[in-house]
Chain A
Amino acid sequence: MNYFWHLLFMIGLYVPLAYSLNLTLGFGGLACFCHAAFYGIGAYAYALLVTTAGMPPTAALLVSIAITGLLGAGIGLISLRFRGDLFLFVTLGFQMIVFAILYNWVELTNGPYGIAGIPRPGILGIAFRSPLQYALAMLVIDVGILALLFAVYRSPFGTMLKALREDEMGAASLGINPLSLYLQAVVIAAAIAAIPGACYAAYVTYIDPTSFTLQESIFQVAILLLGGAGNRKGPAVGVVVMLLLPEVLRFVGLPDAVAHNVREIIYGLLLAGLMYFRPQGIAGEYRMT
């Protein structure tokens, strides 16, 4: 049963990642390839604050959100000087820079050895131990995040982002400031990505840079490509399919020696096929170009 709750926790973890990325990529049309960097910054900030600074988990979570949002603003200010493919490459560059920092700044992050012994959070003095407890806590957090993000999606801000996605010059001619709006979207997305980062650190109690690689960023973008972006359904569909598909493939009886590689191939084929037959994703509204 723990396996089931673990899966549920992981789905819960990726839900805010996908929905926050949906704000920049789906609503804003910005192909942001450094979302795993924000996720990682959140995880490391939380881990360092609770281990080194001895901060209580809730305070550490709030501070890690603020730190990630601030770094998101810095990254956004630079990368938003570009659009389209160039924006993609600049964010990809930031993803690699953040990974390099996590990997090499040993004095701060402990480098490739990672940070171990991250205390488990709890409620009323009872620490979370089982995947069920974590899954339930994640569910509560997700409800809060989704309520916030759905309000943002529905707000004038969300509509303006969609307008920018479709015609930036046309939107500017209506008085919409593209840089300001995009920057706000990047900061919100980054700050929200810090929450699953902190939750992940609290769940596994050990983090290292390999969880926050470029591959992870591509995986998160792939969730939106597969599920669909620019609406409320797509990210959920993407998370469920992308996280459960490998688990389903575990039970098809592939030989252990090739199972991992075959799963990756099936994954890749599915994505390529979907881009051909349904480029806006299974339940998407926005077609990434």
Chain B
Amino acid sequence: MEPILSAQGIVAGYRERKVLHKVSLDMLPGESVLLIGPNGCGKTTLLKVLAGVLRPEQGRVLLKGTDISRVFDDRRALLGFGYLMQTQSIFPSLTVDENLHLSFWHRNGNFKDQREYILSAFPMLKPMLARRAGVLSGGERQALAIGMVLMRDVDVLLLDEPTAGLSPKAAATILQAVHDVKVKMALSTVIVEHNLRLVHEWVSRVLVMNQGRIVAEERDPSVLLDHERLQEYYFG
């Protein structure tokens, strides 16, 4: 089966500081790939390169076999990338409804139907539609940020710490909702998440990163519950 998303020999970083060193990965349609690794190992940078926010110095990114390395982030979004950044990308001065509308304008179909679908996945947003996004709680903000990403036609979902800063209950709710939507929309996802206990049952493959490289690949997500093994990966 042809990979839906490939990264080949990615070298990237911020000015003089190289963060990724020849990173390659292939993702099959419908797969859920979890990126783990110690802080600063390059997980977020890899997501940025995949999303088009950061240009790699070397290497290529291919979507369904087409080289999209030179395509900017806004165009990639229209090609089917949904990218949830580490910082919640909501617009505080706009209402929840306007925030949802923002991501829908480039899409064909009925806004109300799609909004209804997102609200059924994230019911906590329903009573908040007319409120400004700035007044939402942390969990509601994250639900909105993910809801906005999913309002569009998305094939590949890139999630950078979707439960960061949330209570365990809110984190579980968000991850469950994301998983349900992912299954229903047959999305391929790359997720960076530290809440390994919560996420392990929903991922199909685990990539371990360290010092800008993918150092291990595990097809059995139960490895995420093996602390000794993880320590070995993280600290060598």
Contact = CB atoms under 8 A, between A and B. Distances in A.
Interface of A: 156, 159-160, 162-163, 166-167, 169-178, 230, 285-286
Given A159-B102, A166-B91, A167-B91, 16 more contacts: A156-B105, A160-B102, A162-B91, A162-B94, A163-B91, A163-B102, A169-B53, A169-B73, A170-B91, A171-B91, A172-B73, A173-B77, A173-B149, A174-B74, A174-B152, A175-B77
Contacts of A285: 93
Contacts of A175: 74-75, 77-78, 103, 106, 152
A197 B89 CA distance: 40
B128 interface: no
Contacts of A173: 51, 53, 73-74, 77, 83, 85, 89, 149
Interface string B46-83: 00000101000000000000000000111101100001
B102 A169 contact: no
Contact of A172 (B72, B101, B106, B152): B72
B105 A166 contact: no
B102 A171 contact: yes
Contacts of B75: 175, 177
Contacts, number: 70
28 contacts: A156-B105, A160-B102, A160-B105, A162-B91, A162-B93, A162-B94, A163-B91, A163-B94, A166-B93, A167-B91, A169-B73, A169-B85, A169-B89, A170-B85, A170-B87, A171-B102, A172-B72, A173-B77, A173-B89, A173-B149, A174-B74, A174-B89, A174-B106, A175-B75, A175-B103, A175-B152, A176-B102, A178-B74
Given A166-B91, A167-B89, A159 B98 contact: yes
A160 B93 CA distance: 12
A175 to B, nearest CB: 4
Nearest to B103: A174
B101 A159 contact: yes
B168 interface: no
Most buried by A among B73, B74, B75, B77: B74
Contacts of B103: 174-175
Given A159-B102, A163-B102, A172 B77 contact: yes
A58 B37 CA distance: 67
Contacts of B93: 162, 166, 230, 285-286
A165 to B, nearest CB: 8
Interface string B118-156: 000000000000000000000000000000110010000
B40 interface: no
B165 interface: no
A167 B94 CA distance: 12
Contacts of A286: 93
Contacts of A169: 53, 73, 85, 89
A174 B102 contact: yes
B109 interface: no
A286 B134 CA distance: 13
A174 B98 contact: no
Contacts of B149: 173-174
Contacts of B73: 169, 172-173
A177 B78 CA distance: 10
A286 B91 CA distance: 13
A235 B87 CA distance: 32
Nearest to B151: A174
Most buried by B among A162, A172, A178: A172
A178 B93 CA distance: 18
A63 B102 CA distance: 34
Contact of B148 (A159, A166, A174, A177): A174
A128 B94 CA distance: 44
B91 A177 contact: no
